[in-house]
Amino acid sequence: MAAWEALATVIGLTVTVLLLGLVAFPLLQTLWSLESGRRATEGPSRIGPRPRLAILVPAHDEALGLPATLSTLLPQLVPGDRLVVIADNCSDDTAAVARRLGAEAIERFDTTRRGKGYALDHGMQHLRSEPPEVVLMFDADCIAAPDCVRILADEALASMRPVQARYLIRAPDDGTRARISEFAYRLRNWARPLGMRQVGMPCQLMGCGMAFHWTLLAETSLASGHLTEDLQLGLALARRGLYPGFCPDAIVDSRFVANAADAVVQRTRWEHGALATLFAELPSLLLRSVRTLDRRLLMMALDLAVPPLALLSSLLLLSGAVAVAVASIGGPRWPLVAFAVAVAMQIAMVVIVQRVYARDLIRLGEIFFEVPLYLLRKAPVYLRFVFRRQVEWVRTKRDVG
């Protein structure tokens, strides 16, 4: 019995530490964001002449949706700026559409090296003959808010570090399930990085609405087929002491696809890529940050360790079941107390985010009523990560019109 009790104690301690840490850190980020959230409309101060910039837009078969994106980017350019669309392995007239609208267009054909990272690297090579001061990157299906380009370029030049816009993904309809997905992205891509900014800490790169001083990327290869090449890039730069900063006043958004099957493909790619990066990068990031006493790298590692909201909630329920099992075989009961504390913290985080960042989107009652069904629908995505993980980049079909 003593051996069982010892084992139960170890299991209980492990579950408690992991559980409280995984829930406490995003709650802290959310709390840190509150004062900053009230000042979110304060843009960066103008720092002299506008830097000469180039915008890269990777595009694979985006002829139908590209005009909407370019219509928000082209008006923000001034003489000397460039907007380059990289038509990557296209079977439609993406390049012709881009040129007709007034953008530069280059074409790339390589069916063995597929993915956004390879397209961006091709665009960087194209710029080398006449490099700009600042490079910005936007997706071909996004909408950039007015003045987004200037704000990002100014902050990239002033800080000499990577800069990430506030990148949100909108629900395609008013269904509760879609709005919960949008709520999760407001937590992940707005509240949490805003909290990191408030305490002087870096954020993760999110793939769209990114800006870099040319010198930061001049010797960096972007060629990658990783599902989350943006996340990988941000961590690689952070290891060099180039910590990405969050810029809440530069706003970019896009939409989840409306078709249910395509939405599953899209979210599977995002979440499998993020989880693969977590398992591959987290141990080395933690070790490096502790060895070098680098608190900014440590904060990025802790941020990376937080799983998506649906998975975090599922792990919370699973840990509760483990705590009950440990107590039932004579183990300690404090894991049950830790579980109750974690549930309270998770609820507090959801309430804060809904009140501050998503009051216009969804009601609290809808969130708590729909969450069990939402978790059940997300379970296959996480099971596929274990048994049939997506490792290759697959373009999601777009909804246009």
Lowest average pLDDT, out of 131-135, 360-364, 392-396, goes to 392-396
Q: Where are the domains of the chain?
A: 1-401
80 sits in the region (left: phi over 0; alpha: psi -120 to 50; else beta) called left
Burial bucket for residue 327 (CB in 10 Å: 0-12, 13-18, 19+):
middle
Q: What is the pLDDT of residue 401?
A: 46
The pLDDT-based confidence of 259 (bands split at 50, 70, 90) is low
Q: Percentage of the chain surpassing pLDDT 90?
A: 55
Q: What is the pLDDT of residue 223?
A: 77
Residue type, 115: G
Q: Is the pLDDT of residue 1 over 50?
A: no
Q: Is the pLDDT of residue 364 over 50?
A: yes
Indicate the average pLDDT of the chain: 85
Q: Is the pLDDT of residue 393 over 60?
A: no
Summarize pLDDT for 26-68 with one digit per residue, the tens.
999 999 999 744 444 344 455 567 789 999 999 999 999 999 9
Q: What is the dihedral of CA 209, 90, 88, 395, to 10 degrees?
A: 60
Q: What is the pLDDT of residue 50?
A: 79
Q: Is the pLDDT of residue 2 over 80?
A: no
- Using CA atoms, how far residue 259 sits from 96, 256, 308, 334, in Å, is 27, 9, 22, 45
Question: Average pLDDT, stretch 176-189?
Answer: 90
Q: Is the pLDDT of residue 24 over 60?
A: yes
pTM of the model: 0.86
Q: What is the pLDDT of residue 214?
A: 95
CATH number of 1-401: 1.10.540.10, 3.90.550.10, 2.60.40.1760, 3.90.1170.50? 3.90.550.10
Summarize pLDDT for 291-349 with one digit per residue, the tens.
999 999 999 999 999 988 888 888 888 888 877 877 777 767 777 888 888 999 999 99
Output 103 or 381, whichever has higher pLDDT. Answer: 103
